[in-house]
Structure formats: structure tokens, C-alpha cells
Amino acid sequence: MNTPRTPAETRPPRMERLARLPVFFALSGKRTVLAGGTAPAAWKAELLSAAGAQVDVFASEASDEMLALASDPPGGPVVLHRRAWTGEDFPGAAIAVGAFAHDDEASRFAAAARAAGVPVNVIDNSAFCDFSFGSIVNRSPLVIGISTDGAAPVFAQAIRAKLEALIPFGFARWAEAARRWRETIKSSALPSAARLQFWQMFTATALREPNREPQQNDYDRLITETHDNGADTKPGTGSVTLVGAGPGDPELLTLRAVRALQSADVILIDDLVAPAILDFARREAKKMMVGKTGFAPSCRQDEINSLMVSLAKAGRRVVRLKGGDPMIFGRAGEEIAACRKARIPVEVVPGISAAQGAASRLGVSLTHRNLARRIQYVTAHGADGKLPSDIDWASLADPVTTTVVYMPKRALAELSATAQARGLSPDTPAVAVVAATRPDQEVIAGTIADIATRLEAAAPERPVLIMIGRALAQAVKDQRRREAPPTSTPDPQLRSPASTASSPPR
């Protein structure tokens, strides 16, 4: 039996070290100082002007680019002062930028700016910079800055090119509409849950139709839908969303799962959920471990149900985060029933199952039309912790069935022996996949006759999935090839049909 365990809050991992803190200066209507009249200086002046700043340029000589910019700035005025900068130019400036050929000039400029309390950037000279200009993706008011801390500017530019291709230019119009409507929504009588729902529906519309101009009737429709969904009439009632986290690779999360994680107030987390998944969660959300682990301390299911319902009744948006797909051996039925009994709105966001993830990494079709007619999922872990007594052994022994066994560790030897006794051929291919789709994924290949022994020898601590059937034959061969020493003689059984044919006479 499982050892009792109490649901406990878990703290999110600390932010990893940042080479630079990404911040965005509000420069509209503010004065900035720029020393130098070169073409690179003109580009920085253009950025500052585009952000609405008044740019005071101090340069004895000005390039054609700087002269053109001063006559036709994109935003704030660019004022050209035909002299060198002095210490008197810094007070009251928001930021200072300099372009210098020599370090001594750069050093004096940086020191003067800092003495006046002004953040400074010296172009292409990080030793004198308090901040840096990254590569920019401009869908203003949506703006994305990319920095490599000066280590690889070309790499940053390549990432920018990727983002430029991915992000429609029409997002600028939707971001502008959000800015127009935000104050109206904020000053409305809508409770916070309804406002969040409005913005979620707004975002879904923008993602679906990014290249059209948002209209007033879009706002009216979203407000109507918010009222119709009841988010504004039940301020005391929260909700529960069962979210499938997938087998481990965070890139396998669905967009809907990410949206649920980013809007949650509380996240109840299974032990099988990969830590990297929580990087997608709202940082302000309270995170609680409610793990159920076979033969280890586990939270009781009735405790989890009670916690989930009580949090939702208190008005919280609760996400119950489960490894794989919540509807496959995830006790979702019990949790849904508990929510419905308490009249708590409950939704399910499916996830990539562990079987799907493992098969994808192996490159195996579990329903290969020449090898399998059906697929079945079974559990080797019953309510009492033992092999279930009601397994359909005839179906497991069916040679045209692919069987995926969840929670197999403790009962695999018994399952293997019983399956063979009930007619499953001992040479049926079997593969154990440990930590499927994660960076430390491990594959153990064999047959139904020896897979339990192989798994016991490996003694993995991480989640394990067993796949059995003829569809796994090629995966077993591939794994044995990878494991074979480079100098060993190939196993005749692993040769291709062409290699086993008789050689023609010479």
C-alpha cells in the first residue's frame, strides 16, 4: 500500500542566470544624448527617435545618414548640435549613447554620463555600456528585443529573422486595439476572472485572424461572450482544468495547455510532470505537489479531490497538471466526478500520451498495417499495488495486437510469465522506454521473455512504459545495433533479407 503524503506547496525554480536584464525604456517626450555623427550613431538616433525621444546629437561633423535623419525623423525630433559634447549636456537626460573610435574618449563619456546618473551605451564597446541595444522585432506596441550579450550578434539576427517570419505584421493592429480597450475594460464592473476571460478570447481571435483590422464590433462581441459565459456573474466560483502535460518534452505541450497554465491561480502537480513544463506556467500561480507514486509516499485521491474543489469554491482557477494524457490511467474520472458533484466547472485539456511520445522517439507505428490490427493500453498496477486480476490475457496474447503497459515495474515479471502461459509467443518483441521524450530517455529492448530481466538489471528510477508486439520488431533490431560493440560480428538474425541471400558464383 502507498505511504500517506500530504499535498505540499512547491516553490518554482529560481530564475536562471541572466546575462542581461531585458527592460524597455519609456522615452516618449524625454531628452536623450547622443555623441557622434557617424552612420552607426545615426541608426541609434533613429531608434531613439522612433521611441518618441528628443535626440540631442553632439557632433562636429555629421554623416549623410545623420543629416537625413535630422531633417525627417521617424518620431521625436533629432536636434543636431555642431560641437563636441560636454559634461553640462547630461543632466536631465534619460539615456546617453556614444560612438567613439578610441577607448579614452569612450571612457570619459561613460564616466560623465554616470556621474550625472544617466545610463550609458557606447556603440560596439561593451566595456563602457550600462545597457545594450538588441535585435528588434517591431510590431509596435508589440516589441521583441533579442540579446546574446554581445557574444553572437549574427545569431541574434538569425533569431530575429525567424521571429519576423513567424509573427504576422497584423499583430501590431491587434496590440494597438488592446491598448485602446484596456482602460475601458479596467474601469468596467467586470470582476478579474471575467477580464481575464475577455483577454483570453481577444488573444484567440488575434491568433486566428492576425491580418485583419480589429473593429468595434469585435470588442462588442467579446464583451457579449464574456457575459454569456457567466464569468461576470459568478465571482465566487472558480474552475478546474485537467491538463495533460505530455510525457516530458515541454515542446509537446498543446497551445491550449500553455494558455491554461498561464491563466492558473493554483497548479496541482503530479510527480510524473517534467520540471521544464512549469517554465510555461504563470509565475504568480501557487504550485503544489500532489504526487501519487507507486510504492512511495503518495497523496490520497480523496485529499486531492477535496483540495481541488475547495480551491475552486474559493474562486481560484485550478489547473490539475498530469503527466501524459489525463484521461489515460490518470484518475481523471474520479476528479471530474468530484467537481461535478460540487457544481464546479471542469474542463479537460488532452495531452500527448506517454505511448505516443515513446513511439514517436522510436520512429515506430504502433498500428503498422502489416504487423498490427489494433492497439491496447493496460495497467500493471491495480488498486492494491499488484498485477490486476482482470486483464484480458487472450487479447494480450493476440499476435496482431500492440500492447502498451503503463506502471509496469513491479509486476512486469508476473505479467510476462502469465502472458506467455496464456499463449503469447516468447520471442514477441518488447521495448521498455524510460523517461520517454526527455533528454535522458533510455531504451531497453528485448522480447517478452527477457524484458523483465533486462529492466530489472537497468533498475531505472524514472517513469517506464513497456510496449509489446510485432510492430516493435524493427525498434528492437535498431536498439541492438546501437548497443553492439563496433568490432563485433553482426548477429545473423539482424541482417537484412538481401544480406542473407546466397552469394552468386564468381
List, by residue number, the catalytic residues. 270, 292
With 0-12 CB in 10 A as exposed, 13-18 as middle and 19+ as buried, what is 152? exposed
Buried b (16+ CB within 10 A) or exposed e, 243-255: bbbbbbbbebbbe
Nearest to 443 by CA among 455, 453, 429, 457: 455
Distances (CA, A) of 76 to 26, 46, 69, 402: 13, 9, 11, 67
| Rounded Cα gap, residues 372 and 378, in angstroms | 17
Which runs of consecutive H residues, i.e. helices, occur in 363-460? Answer: 393-397, 412-421, 451-458
User: Sheet containing 8-10: which strands, arranged edge to edge?
Assistant: 8-10, 286-289, 266-269, 317-322, 239-244, 346-349
Cβ atoms < 10 Å from Cβ of 198: 23
Dihedral sign from CA coordinates of 123, 124, 130, 131: positive
SS (H, E, C) 295-307: CCCEECHHHHHHH
Q: What 3-state DSSP class applies to 85?
A: coil
Amino acid identity, residue 450? D
Backbone angles phi, psi at 364, to 5 degrees: -115, 130
Distances (CA, A) of 324 to 84, 295, 327, 377, 504: 64, 20, 9, 13, 52
> Cβ distance 357 to 248 under 8 Å?
yes
Helix and strand element counts for the chain (H, E): 16, 20
Q: What 3-state DSSP class applies to 244?
A: strand
Nearest to 382 by CA among 413, 408, 419, 358: 408
